[in-house]
Amino acid sequence: MKKHCVSLNKTGQFSEFFLDYIEGKESLKPFYTHKPTLESFKEAINAKNFSQEKREVLVEALKSQYEGIEISDSVRGNIESLGKPNTYTVTTGHQLNLFTGPLYFIYKIVSTINLAKKLTEAYPESNFVPVYWMASEDHDFDEINYFKLDGKKYQWNSDQTGAVGDFKLDSSFKEFLKSVSFAPDFFKEAYSSSKTLAEAVRKYVNHLFGDQGLVILDGHHSSLKGLFKEVIDNDLFEHAPFQQAQKNTEELESLGYKSQIYPREINFFYLQDGIRERIEQHGDEFFVLNTDLKFSKSELKKQIENNPEYFSPNVVLRPLYQEMILPNLAYLGGPAEVVYWLQLKGVFDHFEVPFPVLLPRNFALLILEPIRKKLNQLGWGNEDIFKSFTNWKKEYVLEESSLDIELKKQKEVVSALFDKKGEEAAQLEESLKSAFEAGKVRSLKILDQMSRKLRKAEERRLDIQITRALAIQDYINPGGSPQERVVNMMQFYLEDETLIECCLDCFDPLDFKMMVLDL
């Protein structure tokens, strides 16, 4: 695999907000604690105060979650290591997409594993464990119930509700599984041997990355939620997270940055028996939306104390929950994730929880040999890949045209002629100047029409090259979105099972560039 790098600001795929963060813009520095550099981890280690009691709860929760699953010595060792005071985690999180969903799911995990390796080399006195946080409590099934391969969408339809991790792999899923007979056996085994979606995702992710020591954590766990009771209580009754997040959000908006998330007064869902619905307060009572459930303040406090697992944080509080139950130093996320964390620093400060080093995951574009051949035939470099196809075609046809298709000289001559004669005619009668001006406009419109006809003719003459460029565009931006956000890993894995090993060799989580990888 050959690796080429392109600056992120030359790809046209990233917001100014995100680029300003990774470039260290001064105005954003109050919204995070550590720079996204290797050197920052020394400060992060010193700032992390994670109790032995929490470590013991975490280790026991992980052991119970992995029960019945065959794990590598690396995973087993990492779980045990989390009980030691000199062990820290680096974490990424993602939804439970079918068959991994888009490529960037893989990129997130590879980036996280490689960061743990880099930290082990740089700080040998400590242990570093890569963690994948399963977003099992998410309830937006429509976002995860499909994947795309070779331009085709494979989708599982289900009428189940609530947290997607609890979805049963029922008869409808078994029918869906028949439609993906081409999938590697480890996927089929993971799904066919599991009762729930969360169980299946744990199994296939463990198969793909277990040898690298990746630890998979599901926050949907009673004892882990028990460590979060203080925040649940505060959010429901005092609304401090809303106040802090809203303050940061308004400050960022005053700097011209668009919000990625929108805090609410209550940032918890009620989670139980196929329900994950928002909690709202009206007067002295608390209601679970779209249900008949309602609670008094005392009833809700009793629920928090006895069943904290019934409370599921939204996007405002999920990051805080993660940092309170893990000895975590860094979070790796996509461009939208990275910037929404900047809206949350005040929440961390309020609860006196250290804000982690915030890193973007690696970004990559995989190029197959036929596409590289097309690129070479067009004389495109790696930066050219990210140009607008429309702009490229316009410039290319103009450069390669055998004629002056814009008819610039002719337009200049016509315009000058009408202007000159209009001035002369105005000496006879003033209204004639307007008539000549109108005639000029009509004539220039005719020349514009002729110019478009000439351009179309040139495009037909250059059809092979334009079709080649269009094929490249469809490959790198299927449906108008970057490859990594659309295409499933099986597009490449089915041809080359070393795909993940190649990514592990190429990815550098501290090098913020777009990688163009020739397979």
Q: What is the pLDDT of residue 413?
A: 77
Residue 164 counted as domain residue? yes
Question: Partners of 367 in the beta sheet?
Answer: 518
Residue 399 counted as domain residue? no
Residue 127 counted as domain residue? yes
Q: What is the pLDDT of residue 419?
A: 81
Residue 224 counted as domain residue? yes
Q: Examine the pLDDT at 405 and tell me if it is beyond 70.
A: no
Within 10 Å of residue 467's Cβ, how many Cβ atoms? 11
Q: What is the pLDDT of residue 508?
A: 96
351-381: per-residue pLDDT in tens?
Answer: 999 999 999 999 999 999 999 999 999 889 9
Question: pLDDT tier at 447 (50, 70, 90 boundaries)?
Answer: confident
d(CA 70, CA 101): 24
Residue 286 counted as domain residue? no
Residue 504 counted as domain residue? no
Residue 331 counted as domain residue? yes
134-165: per-residue pLDDT in tens?
Answer: 999 999 999 999 999 999 999 999 999 999 99
52-81: per-residue pLDDT in tens?
Answer: 999 999 999 999 999 999 999 999 999 999
Task: Give the range of the structural domain holding residue 222, as residue numbers without chain letter.
Answer: 32-229+314-361
Q: What is the 3-state secondary structure (H, E, C) of 277-338?
A: EEEEEECCEEEECCCCCEEEHHHHHHHHHHCHHHEEECCCCHHHHHHHHCCEEEEEECHHHH
Q: What is the domain-level CATH number for residue 124?
A: 3.40.50
312-343: per-residue pLDDT in tens?
Answer: 999 999 999 999 999 999 999 999 999 999 99
465-490: per-residue pLDDT in tens?
Answer: 888 888 999 999 999 999 999 999 99
Q: What is the pLDDT of residue 407?
A: 64
Q: What is the pLDDT of residue 408?
A: 74
Residue 394 counted as domain residue? no
Q: What is the pLDDT of residue 103?
A: 97
d(CA 356, CA 470): 42
The model's pTM is 0.90
Number of domains in the chain: 1
d(CA 55, CA 84): 8
* Sequence-separated contacts (24+) of 43-50 with Cβ below 8 Å: 44/329, 44/330, 44/354, 44/356, 44/357, 45/88, 45/123, 45/126, 45/329, 47/354, 48/88, 48/327, 48/328, 48/329, 48/354, 49/354, 50/85, 50/326, 50/327
